[in-house]
Amino acid sequence: MLRGAAVLAGAAATAPLLGGAATAPAAATGEADALFKAGKFKQAGHAYEEILKKDPGNLRAARQRGYVGLLSNRFPDAEKYLKMAVKLAPDDKEANELLGDCYIRQDEFALSAPCWRAAGAEDYATWFAAISGEPYQVHGDIARVRIREMDPRPLVEASVNGGPPKRFTFYTGAPNLSLTASAAKEAGLNPVVSQKSDFEGTPIWVHYGVLDSFKLGGIELRNVPVGWSSTESGEDVGTDDDGLIGTWVFYHLLTTFDYAGRSLILRRRTPEVAGQVRAAAVRAGAEPLPMWLARDHGIHSLGSIAGSGPRVVGVNLGGIGEIAAGMPGETAERLRIRTDRDRPIETFAHSHPTITYPCYPKEIRLGNAVAEEVYCETDPNMPVNVPWPYGPGFDGLGHFAHCFFKPYNVTLDFTDMNLYVARGKAI
């Protein structure tokens, strides 16, 4: 997704800078790091705590323990250890970026700005410092928004600053709400900061601002951080739709992606409503799956590919594509997945050109949701573990994509950090 990827450019270009006195030898955290890489986050968290009891100055242990808390939205834990890491090494970019993310998930944008500045993301720092008052104000209790088109990407209608309905796609592989340049101009938006970037070899400008109102059916969000991209001449980068709804919008609501019912169901997050939705999901046969949020927008859970057993997988709802799942070449080879190497596909992954191949695992599974012998893709150039700042830093079996979810409805509960997948239309 071009606009979503472009908006990431400012924060993704940074790299760690560790204070020498606080840097710990890798061997000191080796066992804990191995647990973390394998997706055993709870055990890794305990292991990092044990290291810190013996070595309170261990920067990596403090930073990683904070990251473990952040993955599950355990904000007191995350803040405690990330602040410890920043105190040990004030110039550590990774710790500052994680702490900045911790603050924006809690809508504490003013607190996040200095963290992003220390992380080297001056554009994010300026953007977040410009957000005053309460962001993401929710008005209304529930919206059931029709998915008007499903392929090649889902489209819903939404109103921007009280204007006529616009066509928006959605994708949890992108962070914030974003617009086309023309939609931003029509809404009267002015950027608080702009940055020149490059996407798939094309120079573009990425702009950041604040939107007064974004309305999806019966739910209206006010004071919403928004981004938009333009060519050097100010034209739209893409014209297939008017904008993209990313994970930041969805984690402010109790969201059900009702693929089978062709609707996007948005609810105000309250304990009562959450309890009702969880109970309905369980009655529909959906077991609660753990959910983790990495790198400010990347949703993960436990899934299985070709009999691998439960492993950490990405969950990419929305977006463009025909595949049910994607995976690194190493995963396809290790699990002996049938791969058609006579049909190479030239494509892009994270803005970089790559060649993938069709593959057909005997089974892919996410909870009780199963697909057999479906079309997937494998990328031999995709590493199993992409370190910070370009990836989550833990091993990924693969990711489940748009087409896998079509017979199901998927609910994301960002309070208890659970994901529910149930067959058929949502009740």
Return phi, psi of residue 110, to 5°: -65, -40
pLDDT of the residue at 84: 98
DSSP state of 287: P
DSSP state of 322: S
Q: What pLDDT, in 10s, does the model give residues 261-301? A: 999 999 999 889 988 888 888 888 898 999 999 989 999 99
pLDDT of the residue at 239: 82
DSSP notation for 221-270: EEEEEEEEEE-TTS-BS--SSSEEE-HHHHTTSEEEEETTTTEEEEE---
**Token pair of 339 as six digits:** 């791969």
**Token pair of 35 as six digits:** 């647990």
Residue intervals in the chain for CATH 1.25.40.10: 13-129
Q: Give 159's contacts (C-beta < 8 A, 6+ positions apart).
A: 165, 166, 213, 214, 215
Asked if residue 315 has pLDDT above 80, the reply is: yes
3-state helix, strand, coil in the chain (%, to 5): 30, 30, 35
- pTM as predicted: 0.92
What is the assigned CATH class of domain 13-129? mainly alpha
**Token pair of 306 as six digits:** 């070709």
What is the assigned CATH class of domain 258-423? mainly beta
The whole-angstrom separation of Cα 18 and Cα 91 is 7
Q: Kindly indicate the confidence band of residue 21, based on its pLDDT and cuts at 50, 70 and 90.
A: very low
Give me the amino acid identity at 308: S
Lowest mean pLDDT across 87-91, 104-108, 225-229, 284-288: 284-288
CATH of domain 137-252: 2.40.70.10
The whole-angstrom separation of Cα 271 and Cα 268 is 10
Name which of 405, 149, 172 is nearest 300 in CA terms. 172
pLDDT of the residue at 394: 97
Name which of 402, 393, 399, 270 is nearest 328 in CA terms. 399
DSSP state of 216: E
Asked if residue 9 has pLDDT above 60, the reply is: no
Q: What pLDDT, in 10s, does the model give residues 210-244? A: 999 999 999 999 999 999 999 988 999 988 899 99
Look-up: residue for tokens 């990924």?
396
**Token pair of 191 as six digits:** 């950027």
Residue intervals in the chain for CATH 2.40.70.10: 137-252, 258-423
Asked if residue 16 has pLDDT above 50, the reply is: no
Q: Kindly indicate the confidence band of residue 390, based on its pLDDT and cuts at 50, 70 and 90.
A: confident
Q: Are 324 and 401 in contact (CB under 8 A)?
A: yes
